[in-house]
Structure 1
């Protein structure tokens, strides 16, 4: 974990300074989401499995309107999730935005009838259970202030309204994440904490490959959901527009 950052006072009369956590944020889409949130003045915790890479990424964002702090986070490790949750509570006493962005196993060449099940198990641990671990650990900090914005970065690839044989590990784990999103949103409805899934579209990242849309465009839809002024919850969005589950 990086050095403890300053505690930002929040009072009834002072502006509310938001604290956000973005998983898988040392590169690509997560890095751009962290950049855009910091430009909005949020304190952003930049989660990375490799802490050195996280530090390097956070240094690139020095000078933004909001502070960016690298934190060690492997979403498949419960002990790291719990340690980070305790650190956030001690350091800030709040968490306002959680972006579950960590992702892996986008492989268009694999097929469900022949693929090794191990990547599918790992994809579920990252996309579904990783998001589940973070939400469960950090929801108490959102309940404390009756406010929260949870964004599960999903994909149209995981929509059950459409089908396809490619990317089975990625596709099925994202479909499971969508189902979790809807269940959690229903539980938290009326609490001030909203939960939505966002498809950033095909984005030109290391995982998505070349030819996709600019990373900034894909990140903008995620940031939109992270900053919703109204309690819109339980939806699946791309570029601020609802899409079919």
Structure 2
């Protein structure tokens, strides 16, 4: 007969092996789960960081409600409400300003109309680099924020210095506004303070209201006369 050998060491070895295998499996699972959670946490941080760095707080101009898509440049108790939609890269808007800007400014300052200007970023994609319409609108709003009475001067200057698709640099925009108004809005222009309001509040409403610029609404009705005719808008307003 073979010698009687105890099976105890073998059993202990098997148990130890299974225990080691189980422990190794637990470690692997823990590492996998930890890696997934770490990666997810990193993604969340990166997305959050990207979101916070690429997004900007929506700051409306002073005296303007966060959801108000226009600047009110004059208020009339009983005169018509005139909404004007413009884009600072739009050549027709420059012509509109030249022909009708003074009339609208005078009517507003005389209290004969409530004038609401909607500075659109409609042609952002048409500049190279993209975004000039937003930046120019922001520059004008920066001037308004410092002194609402300077809006007209800033608007006129931006149209008089309207560039081609290359746009103007921040330094050039600052110079245009400074020369026209005497205001130093360099930091407001550089930081793009009102760009989120222009893009996220002004433009969505404009897209629902009109497809192009310049556009004039008189008491909510679109002006369909000849914008190329001097005095045509004033005449329509006086008949409203």
Q: Please indicate the TM-score interval, normalised by the length of the shorter structure.
A: under 0.3
TM-score, length of structure 2 as denominator length? 0.25
More strand by share: 1
Larger % of helix: which? 2
State the TM-score, normalizing by the size of structure 1.
0.24
